[in-house]
Chain A
Amino acid sequence: MAHEWQPDFEKLVDEHQSMVFSLALRMAGDRGLAEEIAQDVFLELDRNMSKIKNPEHALFWLRRVAISRSSDALRRRRVRGLDLWVEMNEEHTSLPDERPSPLATRMEFLLTTLPEAQRAALVLRYQEDMPPEEIAATLDAPLATVKSHLQRGLKLLRAKAANHLREYIRGA
């Protein structure tokens, strides 16, 4: 008989908090909001623990819900008319030892100026190192659409980087 996997909530939080937080941060562009989203995602996981079948399913589920809750949060912010971007290198938003480089900060800023679907595809592709097929499954979108988002997003980001980050980027 196959050993049945027993999910341990605390262990899942330990393992995936960085991934969930980073996805939310790159999608929402605001550290405070990203932390709130990450908390909500884990609490939703807690409510759905009985449905999680194995560690791979937990990872897939967390990525999917993190992207989806980030989109919800952005929609709510748009409705309220708030500014989408809070500078990520502000001193009050990150700890001194984890402060990102100026290039990372500006690139992340440029990323948040992309359309949401392109941003989600790029973040999953380059942060999570996922192939387009997995991205399509995570975003519940057709593979061709995901490939198109990746291509267009990358092209747009490259163009923006060429204009704004000439001093940092070698390949732009």
Chain B
Amino acid sequence: MEPERIDEFEKELQQVLQRRPAPPSLKRKVMERRGFETTARRKHYWIAWQRVAAGLIMAAVLGGLMEWQLQRAEDRRRGEEARRQVMTALRVTERALNEMNLRLAARNRDPDQ
């Protein structure tokens, strides 16, 4: 393989393009911005967690409310059913009593029967 040839111009270029020292304030600024970013990130995470927690609480409250409503509707349905059964029983009883009354009345009119 042909060895790499560096001519005078490239040597000059290498000299010219030596690393320059960074400004003395660079590291301080980086560390300051890093501090701000870390604080902002933590704040952002905290807000995000707060939102998640609030969402969970809201979901739990809504779920509880919905469960309570369903339970209430079921209780009402059962109550209605019981009332309907009682009414039916009362109607049956009323009819039986009426029939009994009619028979008693007929017997009172005709004691020979």
Chain A residues with CB under 8 Å of chain B are: 9-10, 13-14, 17-22, 25-26, 31, 35, 38-39, 42-43, 46, 95, 98, 100, 103-104, 107-108, 111, 122-123, 126-127, 129, 154, 157-158, 161, 169-172
Contacts and interface: CB of A to CB of B under 8 A. Distances in A.
Interface residues of B, number: 27
Contact of B20 (A39, A43, A98): A98
Nearest to A154: B10
Interface in B7-41: 7-27, 29-31, 33-34, 37
Nearest to B14: A126
14 contacts: A13-B27, A19-B19, A21-B22, A22-B19, A22-B22, A26-B17, A39-B29, A39-B30, A43-B37, A103-B12, A108-B16, A127-B19, A154-B13, A172-B9
B15 to A, nearest CB: 8
Given A126-B13, A158-B9, A172-B12, 14 more contacts: A17-B22, A18-B22, A20-B22, A35-B25, A39-B33, A42-B30, A46-B37, A107-B17, A111-B17, A122-B13, A126-B17, A157-B13, A170-B8, A170-B12
A38 B23 CA distance: 10
A128 B35 CA distance: 30
